[in-house]
A = this chain, B = another copy of it.
Amino acid sequence: MSVYTPAQVVQETGFSIDTLRYYEKIGLLERVDRNAAGQRRFSQEDIGWLGTLRCLRDTGMPIAQMLRFAELVRAGDHTIPDRIKLLEEHDDQVRAQIANLGERQSYIRNKISYYRSLI
């Protein structure tokens, strides 16, 4: 199976149908194919791309930057170095996020221990 109805894509990707339409509208998703009735039929490629989007979004990338990435992808292979740069910068963000969360986590755990010591 390499064609997906909206409901199947919701199922697969976890994005809501409204979000899928929104992503298409703003150009994060290239014009999705339609059937004779005008209903969306997503391709295997769309699913893969949505997986990438989910990953970037879940790591806190703003939509504007995802949009830049989407444009680089569309522009062809000569943008690969730019894509690497963008992803590396984002990877740094993610690294920093994880480090920060780790620190905060110990604070929280200390607080819990402290509270435990009081009862």
Contacts and interface: CB of A to CB of B under 8 A. Distances in A.
A112 to B, nearest CB: 5
Contacts of A100: 58
B87 A98 contact: no
Given A77-B118, A115-B80, A104 B94 contact: yes
30 contacts: A55-B104, A55-B107, A55-B108, A56-B108, A58-B101, A58-B104, A59-B101, A59-B104, A59-B108, A77-B118, A80-B115, A80-B119, A81-B119, A83-B115, A84-B112, A84-B115, A87-B111, A87-B112, A88-B112, A90-B108, A91-B105, A91-B109, A94-B104, A94-B108, A97-B101, A98-B98, A98-B101, A98-B102, A98-B105, A101-B101
